[in-house]
Structure 1
Amino acid sequence: MPAPITDEQHRLDREALLDAAEGLFYEQGIQAVGMDLIRTASGLPLKRIYRFFPAKEDLVVAVLERRDRRWRGALAAYVGEVPDPRERVLAVFDWLAAWFAEPGFRGCAWINAHGELGTSSEAVLTEVRTHKQAFHDQIADWTRAAGLPAAEPVLLLAEGAIVTAGITGDPAPARHARAAVAMLLGGA
């Protein structure tokens, strides 16, 4: 009889599974990636994968939830290093520019997931909306502190830059959006 799996091994296996699925989903698309490919990439047997996540949709939601914590956490840490409230708003676009320039950048994982599954998976749609609302709330906090009357123009410039960079493969939209936000800040 095999030894029981420890809590630590359970945690490590779950993280390996999420790492493998996230990489594959982001690189190839959710629908293009089958569970056998995830099994191979994670090194876990399908039976174990399905114990963690009974359906692929559950795995997709878990990947998006974890990515959201990491993505928004990294953005907040970067912006939090900037002391001036107005410069903090501009720092959002500096962070986006660096993200857009990373090897393997393929746009917004939540927009991509929505494009693939948003009309057929209520769970994925809910997770996408949760992420977008949380991003909005971050932007709103920073714009309010900078004296801007509304967060939406800054949010739309950020979202537009993300989509445009994802489509074109060019990080320049972050710079263009930053310049537009600087004009908004100059008028506030």
Structure 2
Amino acid sequence: MLKQQIAANLETTFGQFGFAESSVALLQKASGVSLRTLYKYYPSKEDMIVAALESRHQRYLKILEVDISELGFPAIQHIFCRLQHWMQHSAPKGCMSMQALAAFPDNQQIADVVNQHKHELKLFLGQQSQRQDLATALFILHEGVSSSWPVLGDAAVKEAIEISHTLLK
């Protein structure tokens, strides 16, 4: 339980301060444990980033799944509305996974966790839409909202819902 709580605190800190600004001293303070305990569970800053991304992935999928009552377009519309809430409250600067990848482009461990997150998200969209043939297109819309959120805000979600409705007709 302590390991998961540390990961959740790391996620919050990276989300607030970014990857470059988050020193190990800041991460240790935010994690609420001693430096020794932090390093016991996460021996490097990259391990801390991976833990934060994995924590965020689990939390994000749970948020998307909340109250989905009907598959197809209603589920996709609901997912985009949940994404809007997520962006407003948890990711106003954009996708943390993509920020991690940009900050550590040569780190295979970080690339692997980001790729796994994106792969599972794409599968989820295909399942919820009941259109595996459109999973990639829906994923691109989702990623477009995440990437353009800092500039377009709510308008990005509105457009994604309209386009997904056209796709799923």
SS, match of residue 66 in structure 2: helix
Counterpart in 2 of 1:90?
77
Q: Tell me the distance in 1 between the aligned counterparts of 2:14 and 2:30.
A: 12
Counterpart in 1 of 2:50?
61
The two structures have a TM-score, normalised by structure 2, of: 0.90
SS, match of residue 19 in structure 2: coil
Counterpart in 1 of 2:106?
120
Q: Tell me the distance in 1 between the aligned counterparts of 2:141 and 2:155.
A: 13
**Could you say what the CA RMSD is over the residues aligned between the two structures, in angstroms?**
1.9
Q: Tell me the distance in 1 between the aligned counterparts of 2:58 and 2:90.
A: 21
Measured at CA, do residues 73 and 103 of structure 1 come closer, stay the same or move farther in structure 2, by a change above 3 Å?
closer
- Map 1:1-188 to 2 at 5 A: 11-12=1-2, 14-78=3-67, 81-102=68-89, 105-117=92-104, 119-143=105-129, 145=130, 147=131, 149-165=133-149, 167-168=150-151, 170-186=153-169
Q: Tell me the distance in 2 between the aligned counterparts of 1:103 and 1:48.
A: 27
Q: Summarize deviations over 1:49-78 as a string: whole Å, max 9, x none.
A: 111111111111111112111111221234
Which of the two has higher C-alpha Rg? 1
Unaligned residue ranges in structure 2 (runs of 5+): none
Measured at CA, do residues 173 and 51 of structure 1 come closer, stay the same or move farther in structure 2, by a change above 3 Å?
same
Unaligned residue ranges in structure 1 (runs of 5+): 1-10
Q: CA deviation at 1:108?
A: 1.1
Q: Tell me the distance in 2 between the aligned counterparts of 1:16 and 1:122.
A: 25
Runs of 4+ with >3 A deviation: none
Q: Summarize deviations over 1:153-180 as a string: whole Å, max 9, x none.
A: 2111111011100x32622201111011
SS, match of residue 30 in structure 1: coil
Contact 2:126 2:133 survives alignment (8 Å): no
Q: Tell me the distance in 2 between the aligned counterparts of 1:51 and 1:138.
A: 34
